[in-house]
Structures are given as C-alpha cells and as structure tokens.
C-alpha cells in the first residue's frame, strides 16, 4: 500500500509539472492552406499558472470602472464554464496570398505626418525620429511570424451581460479570430493563442500570459510580432459604457476604433529596447491613419511594461470598448489588419 501511495504521489507531481509547462489551452496557428493539417494533440492544463503574488512583474487592469473587473464569482474560477480543446490546427496562408507579399521597402518617410500620441509616461517621445527609423524586426516567410494572445480573454462587449464572457463568440477572443483570419488571408503566418489568461482569477493574468508567450517564442523563435488584444472600458458619468466609433468616409459603415498601446518601463521594470516597440507602433498608427483616417485613437504610451519587453514587435491593441458590440469590434479588427499588413510585410526577408 505504501508503494502504491508513493507511485500515485509521483504521478500527481508529473501531471502538475506538465500543466505548468503548457499553459496555452486553446489556440490556432494560421499557415498556408495547402499544408492544412493537425500536427499533434496535447493534453494541456487549465491555462492558469498559480504564480505567487511576489512574482507579479507587470501591472494588471488599466481601468478602474466596472467593465474592467470580473463581474461574478462564475468568472472567477468556475472550471465548468471553461471548455478547453485538446488539439490545435496548423493552417498556412494560400500560395496566392504568399506570392502577393509586398517586396522589401525603404523606411517610411515621416514627411509632415505627426501622429497623435497620449503620453502617460515620464519619458518624452521623439515620434518623427523613431518613425523615420526601421524597427529591428526581421520575419521569415515560411516560419511563424505573429503571435496573437489575450491576457484578458473574458473581456466582452455591450451585447454580453456584465461585460465579461467565456463565450468565445462574444468576447475579445472572437475579435482575435477575425484579426488572425485577415492576417492569414494577406499571406502572413499567425499563431493565435485563444486561452483566457484571466482565468481562474483576474489577478496574475499578465504573469500567466507572459509564461505562455515565452513558451511560444521558445517553440517558434521566428515570431517577433506579438499582439495582446484587449477591449477598452470607457465609463461615462452616468455609469454607462462609451462606445468608440469610426465611420468610413466613403461608406456608411460604422465600426469600433482601435488604440495602439506601447510601453517604456518608466515604472522601473526592465524594458531596455522599448524604442523598437515604439517604432513599430508608430508605423502601425501611420498606416492606419493613411488608409482609414479616424480608425485609430491617439497612440497611448504608458510607463508600465505589460510584457512588451518580450519581443521587439510586442504591442497591446485595444479594439473597441465595453460600449461597443462584438460585431463593431470585429469589423474594426478586419480594417486594422489591412493597415498592419502594410507595415509587417516589408519586414519579411
């Protein structure tokens, strides 16, 4: 009996170790359609690493309104609400979309363009100098290039009760699905991690997503662009949530807006190469302003870090707000993918 108990204890430890190693429980990889296939199936953990409080290295909520916090105990660790898959697909962009990739271009000339920036940090930003320089990002054509992740995957919209949902057709993961699909259609090689890293608790979300990103970068070192996709929360004086609105000039199409969110570590966290992230952010902002004036809100610069030190092309994207519908946010993501293509494809060698 003693020997049996020892074996069971060893097995339990092994299971815990496996779960800690594989936090990404729900993800897709977009690669050429001609090679669509399921590579392998792994049994992952719940997608939640229980890190000690002292391990916290990056801030959590950037908002203090009700839409920024989980609204019920059901969203605070109810595993019955979290359906985890046991496999992922490898899907490549079509040969036609890959052949349409733009050639390498010269650095974007800043000209008279002056991006709108909301600088919440203590560091001044020389936007024109940074914009005139090429980001230190080199992507490979036939290897994964982009990771999409959701630190706060349960963030939802006005058409979801309580602004939080684990229904990934209604929360920010649905927006990531649309963004990943559009990038894939444009010939880009995308990994989309669809795990809710704000489960089982909201606290520690950035620690959990950081561990997942590190795992992905170790598996695919060719990834240099990471988009952590969120939705914003803008509370009005009456307590309701404001919607961000973009209206295309040549149509009556209404979508949400997008905010690019860059960081520089002013709060003391190590972020030595933040200027590379900033160069990338400024180019995305300029591309979106050229194609869809008004689609983007002012580029936000924070003294926090939010894991952006992990890759030179790591940025947060706030697509829509709690006052928008899921459909409006998805429509904005599809437009922003068009702007992102113009910035990312020249970085492919």
Instruction: Read off the CATH number of the domain in which 224 is found.
Output: 3.40.630.40
Question: Is 252 inside any structural domain?
Answer: yes
Select the more confidently predicted residue: 162 or 36: 162
pLDDT reported for residue 111 = 52
pLDDT reported for residue 225 = 98
pLDDT reported for residue 280 = 98
What average pLDDT is seen over the chain? 79
Bridge-based pairing state of the strands 27-30 and 190-193? antiparallel
Q: How far is CA 10 from CA 16, 47, 49, 212, in A?
A: 10, 22, 20, 25
pLDDT reported for residue 76 = 33
Q: Which of 82, 48, 62 is nearest to 231 (CA)?
A: 62
On the CB side of 205, CA atoms within 13 Å amount to: 27
**Phi, psi (rounded to 5 degrees) for 192:** -115, 110
pLDDT reported for residue 105 = 36
Lowest mean pLDDT among 4-13, 30-39, 134-143, 334-343: 30-39
Contact criterion met (CB below 8 Å) for 195 and 52: no
116-132 residue pLDDT tens: 999 999 999 999 999 99
- Burial (Cβ within 10 Å: 0-12, 13-18, ≥19) of residue 124: exposed
Alpha-carbon span 127 to 262, nearest angstrom: 13
Greatest mean pLDDT among 16-20, 24-28, 44-48, 136-140 lies in 136-140
Take residue 267 and report the two structure tokens written for it.
Answer: 């709060």
Is the pLDDT at 289 greater than 90? The verdict is yes
Tracing tokens 């009760």 back to the chain, one arrives at 161
Alpha-carbon span 211 to 202, nearest angstrom: 16
Residue 263: how many other CB atoms lie within 10 Å: 29
Question: Is 53 inside any structural domain?
Answer: no
pLDDT band at 83 (very low <50, low <70, confident <90, very high): very low
Our count of domains for the chain comes to 1
pLDDT above 70 covers a percentage of the chain that reads 68
Range of the domain at 94: 2-46+58-347
Question: Is 52 inside any structural domain?
Answer: no
Task: Compute the average pLDDT of residues 80-98.
Answer: 44
Q: Which of 164, 165, 225 is nearest to 189 (CA)?
A: 225
193-205 residue pLDDT tens: 999 999 999 999 9
Task: Compute the average pLDDT of residues 273-300.
Answer: 97
Residue 267: how many other CB atoms lie within 10 Å: 15
Q: Cα–chain-centroid distance for residue 149? A: 4
141-192 residue pLDDT tens: 999 999 999 999 999 999 998 899 999 999 999 999 999 999 999 999 999 9
Is the pLDDT at 136 greater than 90? The verdict is yes
Select the more confidently predicted residue: 38 or 261: 261
Alpha-carbon span 145 to 187, nearest angstrom: 11
Bridge-based pairing state of the strands 299-302 and 117-119? parallel
C-alpha radius of gyration, the chain, whole number:
20
pLDDT reported for residue 249 = 78
Greatest mean pLDDT among 58-67, 87-96, 322-331 lies in 322-331
pLDDT reported for residue 31 = 58
Question: Is 343 inside any structural domain?
Answer: yes
Question: Is 17 inside any structural domain?
Answer: yes
Is the pLDDT at 342 greater than 60? The verdict is yes
Select the more confidently predicted residue: 39 or 100: 100
Is the pLDDT at 207 greater than 70? The verdict is yes
pLDDT reported for residue 97 = 61
44-80 residue pLDDT tens: 222 322 233 333 456 554 544 446 654 333 333 333 3
Residues forming a β-bridge with 190? 30, 146
- Three-state SS annotation for 59-116: CCCCCCCHHHCCCCHHHCCCHHHCCCCCEEEEECCCHHHHHCCCCCCCCCCCCCCCCC
DSSP three-state, residue 139: strand
pLDDT reported for residue 47 = 30
pLDDT reported for residue 104 = 35
- Return all residues near 251 (Cβ < 8 A) that are at least 6 apart: none
pLDDT reported for residue 300 = 98
Question: Is 298 inside any structural domain?
Answer: yes
pLDDT reported for residue 227 = 98
Q: For the chain, report the end-to-end CA distance as a whole number of angstroms.
A: 61
Residue 201: how many other CB atoms lie within 10 Å: 14
On the CB side of 195, CA atoms within 13 Å amount to: 31
Select the more confidently predicted residue: 267 or 253: 267
Alpha-carbon span 128 to 112, nearest angstrom: 9
DSSP three-state, residue 318: strand
Handedness of CA 234, 239, 61, 48 (dihedral sign): negative
Residue 95: how many other CB atoms lie within 10 Å: 13
Is the pLDDT at 332 greater than 70? The verdict is yes
pLDDT above 90 covers a percentage of the chain that reads 65
pLDDT reported for residue 44 = 27
Q: Which of 175, 194, 142, 177 is nearest to 31 (CA)?
A: 142
């Amino acid at each position: 009996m003693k020997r049996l108990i020892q074996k069971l204890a060893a097995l339990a430890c092994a299971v815990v170790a496996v779960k800690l190693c594989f936090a990404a429980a729900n993800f897709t990889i977009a690669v050429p359609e001609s090679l669509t296939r399921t590579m392998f199936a792994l049994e992952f953990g719940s997608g939640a690493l229980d890190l000690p409080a002292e391990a916290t290295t990056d801030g959590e909520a950037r908002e203090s309104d009700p839409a920024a916090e989980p609204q019920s105990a059901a969203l605070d660790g109810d595993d019955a609400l979290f359906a985890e898959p046991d496999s992922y697909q490898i899907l490549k962009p079509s040969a036609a979309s890959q052949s349409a990739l733009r050639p390498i271009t010269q650095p974007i000339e800043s000209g008279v363009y002056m991006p709108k920036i909301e600088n919440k940090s203590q560091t001044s930003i020389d936007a024109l100098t940074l914009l005139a320089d090429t980001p230190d990002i080199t992507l490979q054509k036939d290897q994964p290039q982009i990771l999409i992740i959701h630190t706060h995957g349960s963030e939802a919209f006005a058409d979801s009760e309580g602004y939080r949902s684990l229904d990934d057709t209604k929360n920010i993961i649905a927006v990531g699905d649309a963004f990943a699909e559009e990038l894939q259609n444009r010939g880009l090689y995308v990994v989309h991690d669809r795990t809710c890293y704000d489960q089982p608790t909201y606290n520690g979300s950035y620690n959990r997503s950081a561990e997942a990103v590190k795992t992905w970068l170790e598996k695919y070192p060719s990834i240099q662009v990471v988009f952590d996709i969120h939705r914003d929360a803008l509370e009005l004086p009456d307590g309701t949530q404001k919607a961000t609105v973009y209206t295309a000039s040549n149509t009556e199409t209404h979508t949400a807006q997008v905010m690019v969110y860059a960081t520089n570590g002013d709060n003391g966290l190590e972020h030595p190469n933040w200027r590379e992230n900033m160069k990338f952010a400024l180019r995305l902002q300029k591309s979106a302003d050229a194609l869809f004036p008004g689609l983007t809100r002012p580029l936000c610069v924070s003294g926090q870090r939010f894991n952006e030190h992990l890759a030179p092309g790591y940025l947060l994207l706030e697509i829509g707000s709690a006052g928008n519908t899921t459909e409006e946010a998805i429509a904005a993501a599809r437009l922003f993918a068009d702007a992102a293509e113009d910035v990312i494809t020249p970085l492919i060698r």
